[in-house]
Copies of this chain bind each other. A is one copy, B any other.
Amino acid sequence: MAGKVTIADIAEMAGVAKSTVSRYFNGGYVKEETREKIRKAAESQGYSPNTFARLKARESGMIGVVVPSLNSKISSRVMTSIDRYMREEGYETLIKNSDHQIGLELANIRRLMSLNMDGILVSSISIVEEHRKLIAASPVPVVVLAQECPYGISVVDDDYEAGYAMGRYVGQTRPKHPAYLGVTEEDRAVGIVRRQGVLDGLKSCGVEQVRILTGDYSYESGQNMTGQLLSDGPADAVICATDRLAFGAYRVLQARGLSIPKDVSVAAFGGYDESELLTPRLTTIKFDSYAVGYLGAETLLKCIRGEPVPKKQVVSFQLIEGDSVRR
């Protein structure tokens, strides 16, 4: 820890004007000699310009990213992909976590705006009216990920079709006692759209009676819902809204001596690497989260440059066939 050093201190030490020091740090014309004096002064003081004071600076070169969680596989992929893309394009990325709380998501967007980002990417928990105000009032472009946003630009997974595909896949095995382990409707994409896809897919195979449980996104929640399910009655097929929930289901089913898939089929959504290591390998829908991040980043940069972009982009998915669904 050291006291704050300002541009004035460096200018004085180097015997030049503040404006010259400013130019030095911003790539303006400075004679080699002068440049060297400034470099020395700055180095000796460990000086680096206070970004906060660059009020007039046109662009910060920084992009803000808001994510719903710091420890989900999907968020990890989205963040990583955005971060890399931005770095290649010469932008820095700053991340803020909403911890699955819509209030924090909104606060994070506001904060990032006030931090003078050049653009903001929001992997959203749930789109609410307040988003419209924020986006409308934003001095910089905002691109929404994961949830459809009627007020703005969004990049989303194809939750309905993915759900439908999985619904059909499992439906074709004619389960007698199918169940769906889902999440709250607040998350429209997963809680409503994906679930509806699954139900419609099952229905298309004549499977209409489906028990539906709801929890959060955790491993524990997967275990709890599965325990609940089994104590409520028989089950021979469990479709989980995410792989993590399926991990919890595996744990409980296997602990009870039930065989997957002989006694109970299990399927999920996520396509985590770990899923293929399970025994039996998990049948899962792999969303292309890297593409979501990549496309979101690319789209945001286009907005910043004033280029035209689509209002909504839908990213595809892939059904990965494991051995966890009875055939």
Contact = CB atoms under 8 A, between A and B. Distances in A.
Given A46-B134, A94-B95, A247 B219 contact: no
Interface residues of A, number: 61
Given A277-B251, A278-B278, A70 B49 contact: no
A79 interface: yes
A4 interface: yes
Interface stretch (A15-23, A113-121, A172-180): A113-121
A136 B116 CA distance: 28
A184 to B, nearest CB: 20
A115 B49 CA distance: 10
Interface in A45-79: 45-55, 69-71, 73, 76-77, 79
A307 interface: no
Interface string A78-103: 01100110010000111111010000
Contacts of A83: 70, 97, 99
A46 B136 contact: yes
Contact of A50 (B1, B47, B116, B136): B116
Interface string A108-146: 001101111000000000000000011111111110000
A84 B97 CA distance: 10
Contacts of A70: 76, 79-80, 83, 95
Interface of A: 1-5, 45-55, 69-71, 73, 76-77, 79-80, 83-84, 87, 92-97, 99, 104, 110-111, 113-116, 133-142, 219, 247, 250-251, 273-274, 276-279
